[in-house]
Amino acid sequence: MTVFIESSNIISSLGFTTKENYKNVCSGVSGLKRYVDSPFSDVPLQASIIDQDRLQLESAELTVNKGYTKFEQICILSVFKALQNSAVDIKSPRTILILSTTKGNIELLADAGAFSPDRVYLWKAANVIAGFFAASNTPLIVSNACISGLSAMLLAKRLIASKKYDHAVVVGADVISKFIVSGFQSFMSLSPLPCKPFDEKRDGLSLGEAAATVVISNKSAQSFTEIVNGSINNDANHISGPSRTGEGLLAAISHTLGGEGVDLISAHGTATPYNDNMEAVAISRAGLNQTPVNSLKGYFGHTLGAAGLLESIISIEAMKNNTIIKTMGFDTIGVTEPITIVNITSHQNINSVLKLASGFGGCNAAVLLKKI
Amino acid sequence: MDVFKHIEIKEGSIYEDGVQIESFTDTDDFSAFAKYLYKQLEITYPKFYKMSNMSKLGFLATEFLLQNFEISDDEKCRVALALACKSSSLNTDTEYQKSIADVPSPALFVYTLPNIVTGEICIRNGFKGEEIMLVQEKFDREFMFQYAQILFDEGHTNLCVTGFIDYDENNIYFASLFLISNK
């Protein structure tokens, strides 16, 4: 059965709609800024952070400005906006809501304030979000490190293809917190400058926060994108470092493409030395050296549980507009394999995009999206 | 679908297909119970001692689940892990949160993701197949089995370890794992 992406939304530092985000990316605008006095860090922090005033304003319109955490607010706003452009009914028993996140309301662990401390449980936060929309089904939650977003999209595709549901609303989100920032700092993974994916001078990632939603359906009322296939594979190598041979990612790419080519690869491209090199090795081993590869982390930072969805949405817009988006922050190739990193935004016919992601725990995911 | 074995760990006991195989008197002391089960396995795997409680729980449950079950190297890329939990990594999250004020610990931070237990099981057994970590308020066995069937039907999976691994911030633990195949 063919499974379609009906509509989408992104809430990030670059805007509150898919269109606004895409327009900014095409104009070469990055959401990354240097925060000197950040509540999340003792040292200056490069991050992509959602405009708080605008969030409050838009939240007030939906009356989610009080009684909801920031994480819940951005999820609710994003789902609401994605559904506005879609015929899918979130209240239907044939629709499933899927939440993708790594840390949800984790900042409540330090100080729950007026919120009930159990909101830190991901199932509780998901129930709050589902409750706002009066969804019929208990929401599903995927928490699989940095591949959560792609895993959630693939889960939706699989559940619809096997006829368990007809539609899925998949929202991925994470918000920046001291918990997350200090953790990446403890790993020495954050760059002091905006991240430089695949570049010879890359020295770490930049964090971002976002909510991204895709509405997925077995009908193609207004869709121009099909979720063709996908695969998840573990490296079985190390819990905090990727496999040097790209084993798991190569398996995910091979299963997903099944020997076929693809017009564009939207890589995970976090700009850590190990991740980008591992991806280059896997892409090269898959025989895709000539295929254009980009990373969107230079625009949004690494948005964790939102990343796979957010980057898929931008890639879908790019496919619709036959545009290949440049890798912001990239200048000179700095990976061991000769792969083709996109360094100029240009118009080119693209009919398919392979989206990749990898994360802690040795997990790797690939999803193939096609224009219809 | 064939269920080869079911392992459950809770309240100081471990059950194989519903039959208690080991029990421990101090049900509140998970660390001592975990160490006891590890010794019963008669294995040498020093990484075990560095793991979070959730990872230890999942590791022990899969060790008992896969005991005397041979999986060839070719088959290892066709083993899926479809897991769920209730509390995510909150037990370690709470510990890591305390370390932030002092020196944030990378050794703790890496375990603040629920899918690290999946990684530990894959490393131990060389499994390179599908994986997913879901969060459920209550273990939904029926859903997990349905998902495993979808994976079998896609054709890249022959065996699946599926079930629930939960270790909460009050040290209440529960693991219920099934080894299933499509045959």
Q: What is the amino acid identity at position B102?
A: D
Interface of B with A in 108-137 (CB under 8 A): 109-110, 112-116, 118-120, 122-123, 125-137
**Contact between chains at A363 and B118 (C-beta distance less than 8 A):** yes
Question: In the structure, what pLDDT confidence band is assigned to residue A220 with cuts at 50, 70 and 90?
Answer: confident
Interface of A with B in 207-246 (CB under 8 A): 231-240
Q: Is A281 helix (H, G, I), strand (E, B) or coil?
A: helix
What is the bridge-based pairing of β-strands A340-341 and A292-294? parallel
Cα distances (angstroms) measured from residue A276 to each of A86, A348, A369: 36, 25, 22
Q: At a CB cut-off of 8 Å and minimum separation 6, what does B132 contact?
A: A142, A144, A151, A155, A232, B81, B82, B83, B147
Q: What is the pLDDT of residue B173?
A: 97
> Which residue in A122, A146, A180, A188 has the most chain B C-beta atoms within 10 A of its own C-beta, making it the best mutation to test that interface?
A122
Residue among A106, A124, A142 minimizing CB distance to B134:
A142
Average pLDDT, chain B: 96
Q: Is A223 helix (H, G, I), strand (E, B) or coil?
A: coil
Question: In the structure, what pLDDT confidence band is assigned to residue A305 with cuts at 50, 70 and 90?
Answer: very high
In sign, the C-alpha dihedral spanning A162, A168, A174, A179 is: negative
Q: What is the pLDDT of residue A338?
A: 96
Burial of A172 (0-12, 13-18, 19+ CB in 10 A): buried
- Residue A179, chain B, CB below 8 Å: the answer is yes
Average pLDDT, chain A: 97
Tokens of A194: 């905006």
Q: Are A82 and A169 in contact (CB under 8 A)?
A: yes
Over residues B115-144, the pLDDT tens digits come to 999 999 999 999 999 999 999 999 999 999
Tokens of B129: 């197949």
Q: What is the amino acid identity at position A73?
A: Q
* Helix runs in B42-132, H state only: 53-66, 73-76, 90-100, 106-109, 116-125
**Contact between chains at B113 and A143 (C-beta distance less than 8 A):** yes
Q: Is A338 helix (H, G, I), strand (E, B) or coil?
A: coil
CATH 3.40.47.10 residue ranges in chain A?
4-217, 225-371
ipTM over 0.95: yes
Burial of B178 (0-12, 13-18, 19+ CB in 10 A): buried
Distance (Å, whole) CA B89 – CA B58: 12
Enumerate the residues of chain B whose CB falls inside 8 A of the CB of residue A162.
146, 150, 153
CATH 3.40.47.10 given to domain A4-217? yes
Q: What is the pLDDT of residue B135?
A: 98
Residue A108: phi and psi, rounded to 5, are -65, -20
Q: b/e map of A235-268 (b: 16 or more CB within 10 Å)?
A: bbbebbebbeebbbbbbbbbbbbeeeebbbbbbb
Mean pLDDT of B132-159: 98
Interface of A with B in 9-68 (CB under 8 A): none
Q: Which fold has domain A225-371?
A: Peroxisomal Thiolase; Chain A, domain 1 (3.40.47)
Over residues A344-370, the pLDDT tens digits come to 999 999 999 999 999 999 999 999 999
Mean pLDDT of B31-40: 96
CATH superfamily, domain B2-181, is Thiolase/Chalcone synthase (3.40.47.10)
Enumerate the residues of chain A whose CB falls inside 8 A of the CB of residue B81.
234
Beta carbons within 10 angstroms of residue A194's beta carbon: 21
